Structure 1
Amino acid sequence: MKLKGAQIIVETLIEQGASTVFGYPGGQVIDIYDALYLAQDRIHHIITAHEQGAAHAADGYARATGEVGVVIATSGPGATNLVTGIATAYLDSVPLVAITGNVPNSLIGRDSFQEVDITGVTMPITKHNFLVKRVEDLADTIREAFRIAKSGRPGPVLVDIPKDVQNALYEYTAQAPAAKNPVPAANESEIEKAAEMILAAEKPYIYIGGGAITDNAGAEVLALAEKIDAP
């Protein structure tokens, strides 16, 4: 089934399990919003008063549900308004996919109206980001973004999509939601070494991050604290 790139974006979001997305419309994502309107019975969009609010809302949604948060913004100032929310998700290990529109491929790099190199801007605060220059790569890139966002230490991934890619037609075939990368097995010798160091410590204490909450490891942390009498 041939669809416009904007429709492929929405269909792939639905395919990947995104039931609720956040954002604010603008010129370079208006086709995505048309596609969201047509699919409103299958995916719920929440509009905010500002793109930064949408980024924080997607971040909070991911924390509350355990799903990948999704936020959509237009090019230029719309995209840069996401930066604080993306950085928050990056520092707090929250799975987030940010989709931004951009000017057509033919205008990229020419200082077009509301053109900003958002992939360059967000490189330090994303696990990975993509500039999709061909509609043929669109669905697989979004799938990869979801896989990266929720694998290992979770975090944000940005997908920047030029206007002409959103309007181009291409064949779309639904796939299963992207699976997380397998977690590597623990090294038994390293675990034994760590246990020896803990046993030798005179006043051990535990300083642990949000991953314990994400992976529901609270009971194990408490058991360790009681076993070694550590705060």
Structure 2
Amino acid sequence: MLSGGDMVARALEEEGVEFIFGYPGGAVLHIYDALHRHSSVPHILVRHEQAATHAADGYARSTGKTGVVLVTSGPGATNAITGIATAYMDSIPMVVISGQVQSHLIGEDAFQETDMIGISRPIVKHSFLVKRTEDIPRIIKTAFYLAASGRPGPVVVDIPKDITAPAYKAPFDYPEEVSLRSYSPAEKGHSGQIRKAVELLLRAKKPMVYAGGGVIQGNASAALTDLVRHLNFPITNTLMGLGAYP
């Protein structure tokens, strides 16, 4: 049996998270207490929540792993928006755990209450408002899956303070896999589309390869290099594709 705060810390360990970037605040103190007690995940303390999301973004770009952010409610959540938008526009995997006021105060203009779900909706792959402590393992597992699969991007998990309080404990049952009926991202390239692209290149009068960030995210730089040298075509990159070709 674990409290909600301990469940968050345990879930991060289950996901193999190496670092979490954040700034403490009242709505996430139970999570911070849990991280301090027993989590093996190092916390990187920043001086502003925007720095946390940008740091997690940079970590994800350099390692290919999902960046993780922890911020409090109200101004903590809104300060993270610019970094979340950056990750969304550039397809960077990120999980942002934001604190929220107690469940019974949501919608009551409580101190440091903001509608993080509504604010972030246009710039995330998905967002969750946790309503039960028992749902934390499933939601965090799903958040990491959504952030890193298909076209990567940020996912927000908004957790009210009472959901992480130590007074209530529940069984920790972390799922091994995620199955979403309405979400089935492609795991590999579509052979028909690839064949069509090759045919277009071979018929082109002035062929050129235009490489984007997907080459880097897919660890396909070596394959791209072999292709370009085999075809002997000129190549250029998008801003996200810089470094994809030597």
TM-score by length of 1: 0.92
Aligned residues: 228
Please tell me whether residue 65 in structure 1 is matched to residue 63 in structure 2: yes
Alignment partner, residue 27 of structure 1: 26
- In structure 2, how many angstroms separate the alpha carbons of the residues matched to 1:7 and 1:16? 14
- In structure 2, how many angstroms separate the alpha carbons of the residues matched to 1:59 and 1:184? 23
- In structure 1, how many angstroms separate the alpha carbons of the residues matched to 2:102 and 2:56? 27
Residue 175 (structure 1) shift? 5.0
Residue by residue over 1:76-116, the C-alpha shift from the partner in whole angstroms, topping out at 9 and shown as x without a partner, is 10001111111111111111100000011101011111100
- In structure 2, how many angstroms separate the alpha carbons of the residues matched to 1:18 and 1:189? 37
Alignment partner, residue 205 of structure 1: 208
Residue by residue over 1:184-222, the C-alpha shift from the partner in whole angstroms, topping out at 9 and shown as x without a partner, is 454433333222221111112222211101112112222
- In structure 2, how many angstroms separate the alpha carbons of the residues matched to 1:103 and 1:81? 16
- In structure 2, how many angstroms separate the alpha carbons of the residues matched to 1:149 and 1:185? 17
Aligned AA (2:73): S
Aligned AA (1:199): L
- Is residue 209–residue 233 contact of structure 2 (8 Å, CA) maintained in 1? no
Aligned AA (2:16): G
Change (3 A) 1:77 1:182: closer
What aligned pairs does 1:75-224 form with structure 2 within 5 A after superposition?
75-167=73-165, 168-176=168-176, 183-224=186-227
Alignment partner, residue 48 of structure 2: 50
Cα RMSD of the aligned pairs, angstroms, is: 1.9
- In structure 1, how many angstroms separate the alpha carbons of the residues matched to 2:121 and 2:88? 11
Could you say what secondary structure the match of 2:211 adopts?
coil
- In structure 2, how many angstroms separate the alpha carbons of the residues matched to 1:224 and 1:106? 58
Change (3 A) 1:163 1:110: same
Structure 2 runs not aligned, ≥5 long: 236-246
- Is residue 15–residue 176 contact of structure 1 (8 Å, CA) maintained in 2? no
- In structure 2, how many angstroms separate the alpha carbons of the residues matched to 1:49 and 1:185? 40
Structure 1 runs not aligned, ≥5 long: none
Change (3 A) 1:215 1:25: same
Aligned AA (2:233): D
Aligned AA (1:49): R
Aligned AA (2:67): G
- In structure 2, how many angstroms separate the alpha carbons of the residues matched to 1:100 and 1:157? 11
Query: Is the deviation greater in 114-123 or in 55-64?
Result: 55-64
